[in-house]
């Protein structure tokens, strides 16, 4: 069985993590030093369930970034067929 560890420091949470799941819209998470978080992670994967971060900015920082319920506008796929 996997051991669960609860910590309060975002850098400590990210250290060695294979991914982060954002489940809240709290301001303190929006304003994290995402460059520092990137350096701490084993795999820079962020899954944003609240659509609070900019996909373009997160990808620019090097993250593998996924948000839920928001279309990926980086592709040329039309959202509406003609």
Residue-wise pLDDT for 23-81, tens only, equals: 988 898 889 999 999 999 999 999 999 999 999 999 999 999 999 877 665 554 444 44
Q: What residue numbers bound the domain in which 38 lies? A: 10-67
Q: What is the pLDDT of residue 73?
A: 59
Q: What is the pLDDT of residue 14?
A: 93
Res. 1: pLDDT tops 80: no
Is residue 82, in this structure, part of any structural domain at all?
no
Q: What is the largest CA-CA distance in the chain?
A: 51
pLDDT band for position 2 (cuts 50, 70, 90): confident
Instruction: Indicate the helix (H) or strand (E) that contains 48.
Output: strand 45-48
Is residue 78, in this structure, part of any structural domain at all?
no
Is residue 25, in this structure, part of any structural domain at all?
yes
Task: Please give the tally of structural domains in the chain.
Answer: 1
Is residue 62, in this structure, part of any structural domain at all?
yes
Q: What is the pLDDT of residue 33?
A: 95
Is residue 81, in this structure, part of any structural domain at all?
no
Q: What is the pLDDT of residue 77?
A: 47
């Amino acid at each position: 069985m996997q051991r669960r560890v609860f910590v309060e420091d975002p850098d400590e949470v990210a250290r060695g993590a294979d991914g982060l799941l954002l489940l809240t819209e709290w301001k303190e998470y929006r304003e994290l030093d995402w460059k520092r978080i990137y350096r701490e992670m084993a795999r820079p994967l962020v899954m944003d369930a609240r659509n609070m971060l900019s996909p373009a900015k997160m990808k620019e920082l090097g993250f593998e970034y996924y948000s839920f319920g928001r279309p990926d506008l980086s592709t040329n796929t039309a959202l509406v067929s003609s």
